[in-house]
Amino acid sequence: MTPQFAPVEPFDLVIFGGTGDLAMRKLLPALLHRFNDGQMPPGSRVIAVARDHGFSSVQYRERVQQALSGTGDRAGLEGFLPLLDFHALDVTSAEGWQSFAQEVQRVGERVRVFYLATSPDIFVPICEGLHSHGLAAGQSRVVIEKPIGRDLASAARINDAVGRFFSEQQTYRIDHYLGKETVQNLTALRFGNALFEPLWNAAHIDHVQITVAETVGVESRGPYYDKSGALRDMVQNHLLQLLCLVAMEPPAAFSADAIRDEKLKVLRALKPIDASNAAQLTVRGQYRAGAANGQSAPGYAEELGHTSDTETFVAIKAEVANWRWADVPFYLRTGKRMPERLSEIVVTFRSVPHSIFEPSAGPLQSNKLVLRLQPDEGVKFWLMNKVPGPGGMRLRHVAMDMSFAETFNVRHVDAYERLLGDVVRGNPMLFMRRDEVEAGWRWADQILAAWADSHESPKPYTAGSWGPSAAVALIERDGRTWNDDAG
């Protein structure tokens, strides 16, 4: 199937933090793909900004060439590299902004995307600099990355700071999970088919599981991660966004604000988890030495170089307190050093009310809709089927399996690629609005406060396992199991 691209006008993309890890590993490879797909028309520019390293644009391009060659993706590189320029600027200093602004304004008015791929500490000087040099007006947009704060107060400070210079319509808060194909397909499945929506409620759905598992540990990101932990790093943003898309009411239109309004209602309907119930509804874990990817792996404290009470795993039994979802648990789980790299949403339907089959037919298992976000994006729908051939009525739970790669035979589009394209086009649908981010923190803050009050350390789990045994107990005491190994 041939990919369909709507043409875009030449644009400028300025990456503050153009020498950083995010730029080299995610943004520049994504831009190369956009270039290869004809989505960076001649005249478009990518201006990388970082402090003065004494290197020129030519030397910067050599660095990028090396970084991108490492990804094995060389196609189109020769045409792409000349679009890149390096501009040395310490954004915290008054010097240098004038010449930077002149460089940007050298070409006339056009879409200008300012990607803040830096620590949030310097968002204010960047936005102030852009504003005072006339770069925040017109078709300018600013992109900010997670973490948007570490709690509600700090998120509000960042949002206020950016909001002084850029309107909400100009502000794109990236959660790259929203750029994943399966995540968007969830909306298509729910609202493009008559099949699911009548069943999408507490009367027919038993529970929902959302798992985001990584096999990696913290590695060199230890000092950053240790200040954050799994709840802040993964749950408050990625897992809550996925929960919202599963739980939201049908939006009135397929438009950014209609969808974001519905997601916000879900966040506001999350049942509070606080000191009164956190011990029953949450599990914190931290990995100890074990094995990962077939090799021995150190524990978190060894990787970090000191002991710590930061969680690298969290499991939560959440609930959306409204008519549609009353008493339907949403089990959320994320961790590092898990047995596989896996992100999935599992919607388990209720059992049939009565079985007409003999026990010899085998047990009746529930229908399940499994949306796989990674490793290979796709959808599985589990149904009871008759085993073909003689032998009477024997039933088996089998999956209708739709792998996107096989079904559509198109190149896998990375989330950053799609999201960068959406910023250039001015489509904010897959980005988080300020009120969503803050509603997520309002819920997460209570859990963080309850954990802090309890003074309990995270429960240990062996690297390469699915987390502490308490996480298994969290779901099994409700008579349910995690979807591990079930596909």
Contact residues toward ligand NAP (CB under 6 A) are 16-23, 25-26, 49-51, 89-92, 117-120, 122, 145-147
Specify which residues 115 forms β-bridges with.
15, 143
CA dihedral 368, 373, 375, 377 (to 10 degrees): 80
Residue closest to ligand NAP (Cβ):
20
Q: Taking every pair of C-alpha atoms in the chain, what is the biggest distance, in angstroms? A: 83
Q: Is the peptide bond before 147 cis (omega within 30 degrees of 0)?
A: yes
Q: Which two tokens stand for residue 80?
A: 């792409």
Residue 95's identity, in one-letter code, is E
| Closest-CA residue to 211 (of 299, 341, 337, 300) | 341
Confirm whether 133 is a catalytic residue. no
Nearer to ligand NAP, 25 or 350 (CB): 25
Cα–chain center distance at 176: 4
Helical ranges in 380-414 per DSSP H? 404-408
C-beta of 143 vs 270, nearer to ligand NAP: 143
Residue 208 near residue 328 (C-beta atoms within 8 A): yes
Instruction: Spell 139-163 as b/e; 16+ CB within 10 A means b.
Output: ebbbbbbbbbbbebeebbebbebbe
Separation between Cα atoms, residue 334 and residue 321, nearest integer Å: 23
Pair 144, 162: CB distance under 8 Å? yes
Distance CA 172, CA 432 (A): 7
Query: Which two tokens mark 199?
Result: 């069943």
Residue with tokens 């994943």: 180
Residue with smaller CB distance to ligand NAP, 148 or 474? 148
Residues in the chain: 487
Catalytic residue (one of 238, 354, 397, 455) = 238
Kindly tell me which of 18 and 149 has the beta carbon lying closer to ligand NAP.
18
Q: Is residue 482 within 8 Å of residue 333, measured between CB atoms? A: yes
Closer residue to ligand NAP (CB): 129 or 468? 129
- Report DSSP state, residue 162: H
Instruction: Match 């229908």 to its residue by tokens.
Output: 367
24 vs 281, beta carbon nearer ligand NAP:
24
C-beta closer to ligand NAP: residue 143 or 244: 143
Smallest separation (angstroms) from ligand NAP to the CB of 381:
32
DSSP class per residue in 248-280: PPPPSSSSHHHHHHHHHHHHHHBPP--TTTHHH
User: Which DSSP category does 93 fall into?
Assistant: S
| Cβ closest to ligand NAP, residue 51 vs residue 74 | 51
Catalytic site positions: 238
